[in-house]
């Protein structure tokens, strides 16, 4: 292979935790400016008729948790999802069913919505202290639900924009407390356990140590958290937010860590917003399950996936992502924003 061809050779990168593979395509390599989203002037209206600006008037169920401002207003509220993917249990055990080789169970659990006050301000436009309040709300609901009989895992996620699955423009997160651990999270747990058995060291701590030493993929950091583009990114401009200290359980986050974690999350979204013209994105929190088992080798973190990729035949048929900007270039671009 000649030198020119070498420059165009892509990389097949393996995720150190799950063993998943992704491709960094050099021949299809793009510049950061190629990812800037088109103007979305109509993304936010003035909030007239918004279901989340006045949840009571719109017929939502009574608030589970309400954060007041002291001025007869609210800054954040949590209420049951009006159209839940998981229905709240009504006594008894979860029904397990079989038919031939197939097995299933009722989708029993809790599905809640975490809504911030301002219709037009997503997390990247909020004050970091307001984002710390969001983390506080996550923690509060997590602790309240983690010991329920039907709950073995609590999934907390945030959809921004239509292509990310947000059917309502008003900024909000969702929480689903469910009876099963997802295969994706289980793969992370298994990968972390396997790595520890082989190396006697947390795989996520190994990642953090190398990222801090190499400094090629760091986007932002403060005393407690590192924001970086993962080496085997599955999406263009994917970022992870991870506590610098080994922390298996999100629900044990401290008051200080909520402030510094809120700052890290706000800065990461702000950089996406400024650098790529507010693209659609998802973020979600991965933490140890609440199924009564111990997970000392896991390390909780937040993953942010901008919706800039379109899955085509290769990705769908193999599960191997093709990203068209390297994590190193993505991090350098975002860091400058």
306: tokens are 């901008």
Per-residue pLDDT band at 291 (split at 50, 70, 90): very high
Per-residue pLDDT band at 102 (split at 50, 70, 90): confident
Give the residue, 296 or 99, on which the prediction is more confident: 296
Question: Quick one: CA dihedral 124, 129, 132, 136, positive or negative?
Answer: negative
Q: Could you give the CA distance from residue 109 to residue 132 in angstroms, rounded to a whole number?
A: 26
Average confidence score pLDDT of the chain: 91
Reduced to 3 states (helix: H, G, I; strand: E, B; else coil), residue 209 is helix
- CB atoms < 10 A from the CB of 270, how many? 19
Q: How many CA atoms lie within 13 A of 25 on its CB side?
A: 15
Per-residue pLDDT band at 46 (split at 50, 70, 90): low
List the chain domain ranges.
1-337
pLDDT of amino acid 28:
66
Per the residue annotation, which of 158, 160, 172, 301 is the catalytic one?
172
- DSSP for residue 164: G
Q: Could you give the CA distance from residue 318 to residue 299 in angstroms, rounded to a whole number?
A: 28
Assessment of whether the complete model's pTM goes beyond 0.85: yes
pLDDT of amino acid 2:
54
Per-residue pLDDT band at 95 (split at 50, 70, 90): confident
Active site residue 172: yes
Residue 120 has pLDDT above 80, yes or no: yes
Q: Which CATH architecture has domain 1-337?
A: 2-Layer Sandwich (3.30)
> Residue 165 phi/psi, 5° resolution?
95, 10
């Amino acid at each position: 292979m000649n030198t020119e061809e070498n420059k165009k050779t892509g990389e097949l990168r393996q995720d150190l935790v799950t063993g998943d593979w992704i491709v960094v395509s050099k021949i299809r390599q793009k510049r950061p400016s190629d990812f800037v989203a088109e103007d979305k002037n109509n993304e936010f209206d003035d909030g007239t008729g918004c279901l989340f600006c006045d949840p009571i008037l719109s017929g939502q169920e009574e608030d589970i948790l309400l954060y007041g401002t002291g001025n007869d207003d609210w800054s954040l509220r949590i209420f049951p999802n009006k159209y839940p993917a998981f229905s709240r249990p009504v006594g008894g055990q979860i029904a397990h069913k079989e038919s031939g080789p197939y097995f299933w169970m009722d989708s029993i659990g809790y599905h809640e919505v975490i809504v911030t006050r301002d219709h037009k301000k997503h997390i990247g436009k909020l004050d970091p202290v307001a984002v710390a309040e969001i983390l506080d709300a996550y923690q509060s609901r997590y602790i309240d639900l983690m010991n329920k009989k039907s709950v073995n895992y609590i999934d907390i996620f945030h959809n921004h924009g239509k292509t990310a699955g947000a059917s309502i423009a008003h900024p909000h997160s969702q929480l689903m407390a469910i009876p099963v651990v997802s295969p994706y999270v289980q793969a992370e747990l298994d990968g972390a356990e396997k790595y520890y058995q082989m190396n006697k060291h947390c795989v996520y701590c190994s990642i953090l140590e190398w990222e801090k030493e190499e400094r090629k993929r760091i986007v932002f950091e403060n005393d407690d958290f590192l924001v970086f583009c993962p080496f085997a990114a599955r999406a263009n401009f994917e970022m992870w937010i991870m506590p610098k200290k080994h922390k298996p359980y999100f629900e044990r986050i401290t008051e200080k860590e909520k402030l510094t974690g809120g700052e890290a999350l706000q800065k990461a979204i702000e950089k996406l917003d400024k650098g790529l013209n507010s693209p659609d994105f998802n973020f979600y929190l991965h933490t140890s399950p609440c199924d009564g088992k111990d997970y000392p080798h896991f390390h909780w973190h937040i993953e942010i996936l901008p919706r800039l990729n379109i899955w085509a035949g290769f990705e769908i048929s193999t599960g191997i992502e093709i990203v068209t900007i390297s994590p190193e270039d993505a991090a350098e671009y975002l860091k400058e924003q």
